[in-house]
Structure 1
């Protein structure tokens, strides 16, 4: 018997519009790129849609992108001019947006529909290598500016039924996100210490302990050195909440990200390829 639930993912999405670039800067993301190709392979057949919780969208209260044809948001600076004209033309899904709001409301969580929200780079930097044909519908979910980890875990719990409806839930952020430290060497050790805590929490802790540790993430070694603002960490809370009792695994790990930082991505739940193999074995 196979499990129809799709896994959830937290992806360290890299820098700016990297999938659209060439040359040395683009080669910095070769390991991340391969992890996304592997993710596509392990998901197997085409998902019905993707829900992205982006670290680049914050609202007072939650919001859901509900437009049928989302535009683009170029939320980065200092890149060549052509990177402010790139496109990712995957359709939105007003139907999925309404379903997300329905599930949240059923758990007592209000969320607004936003028909004008375009794809930010937390979304298209992941989706471009993952589904380059731009044919999979994508809906985005914002963070709440209150930054309450328990709320974002609760949001994930509310959205868990989507996993049985062919929807892949992706949290897009970075396991280490201190922009000022990234420009020097000050992030090397904090990124390693915080990553080690993430590995212990997400992979080696029982589910109850994992949830507790994430709720109190500020107690982690180098927590605030790794995340002065937790916008790039909170997407992790949502995807863990949606797969709270299921095992975690590393899907990407790099000790020389951006010249010497440690960064990781994680999967929660088993990929369809694994559950199909189990079913065939039986």
Structure 2
């Protein structure tokens, strides 16, 4: 059975669902590769859903979830897309997290939000694979989210594709909204990005690429990603912590997955939106056979 790569995707603004971009092309490429390798399902952590309580993590267990509306995107792009919640795997994930000492609970009322289904639509336009969505915790402890990733990493051995969808640089307070509001142009760049955004964007690339290579000690990526929250420009790049937790989650998956980091990490695509939002798409590892 093949072992999938691991993805940290920056989903960007809602308009990334409706507009063509380098990121959208790359998401489709990754989806096509996953289907060609007959993935068993998807396990995702997004950036728009968090559970309140010490060590609490919710797992989406609504059999027929609705989709939250998407601003600035024509409904034809997503309204008829059929979601496919994987309740059986969701129950497994809850048990795995509880066995690891976390307070994992089933959430039977949660409707899916664009941070996750935007990616699914772009990756799998022909139909949504069985998908399990795992919440964040509202305290936004980076080490807790890395631990969640380390627990669900075992599913990768069964050909589940694990995805974190957040943002490399995602601070809504620093974005330039006028071009999108007035002209529906999310990619307009009337001025260059601010220096702080450029600096943090380079730092997150360095962290992923330099800590995913042969010879690195286990835990290197978790240590480096969580340390980014102390970066001098972190708060400029992330006005809130929610869109960074998916990176911590993916770091935990990588560090708990034997050998995946030895195959390296690639920055598969990148788009700047709204002047100061950088949507970087990282893939750690590659499709390999367990007997290779």
Determine if contact 2:205/2:267 at 8 Å carries over to the other structure: no
TM-score (normalizing by structure 2): 0.82
Instruction: Give 4+ residue runs of structure 1 displaced > 6 Å after superposition.
Output: none
| CA spacing shift, 1:187–1:227, aligned 2, 3 Å | farther
- For residue 124 of structure 1, report the CA deviation from its aligned partner: 1.2
Q: CA RMSD in A?
A: 2.5
Count the aligned residue pairs: 265
Q: Does the alignment pair 1:16 with 2:27?
A: no
What is the rounded CA distance, in whole Å, between the counterparts of 1:225 and 1:192 in structure 2? 10
Q: Deviations over 1:67-116 (max 9, x none)?
A: 22221122x55x36747982431221110110111111121111110122
Task: Check if 1:264 corresponds to 2:259.
Answer: no
Q: Which among 66, 72, 75 is matched to residue 71 of structure 1?
A: 66
Aligned partner of 2:30 in structure 1 is: 39
1:53 aligns with 2:45: yes
Unaligned runs of 5+ in 1: none
Question: Does the 8 Å contact 2:9/2:281 carry over to 1?
Answer: yes
- Residue of structure 2 equivalent to 1:108: 101
Contact 1:12–1:263 (Cα < 8 Å) also in 2: yes
Rounded Cα–Cα distance in structure 1 between residues aligned with 2:227 and 2:244: 13
Aligned residues of 1:42 and 1:271 also touching (Cα < 8 A) = no
Superposition map of 1:150-229 within 5 A: 150-183=143-176, 187-205=193-211, 206=216, 207-229=218-240
Q: Once the two structures are superposed, what CA deviation does each residue of 1:19-46 show, in whole Å capped at 9, x if it has no partner?
A: 3x3xxxx14xx10111112212333323
Output the CA distance in 2 between the equivalents of 1:85 and 1:8. Answer: 25
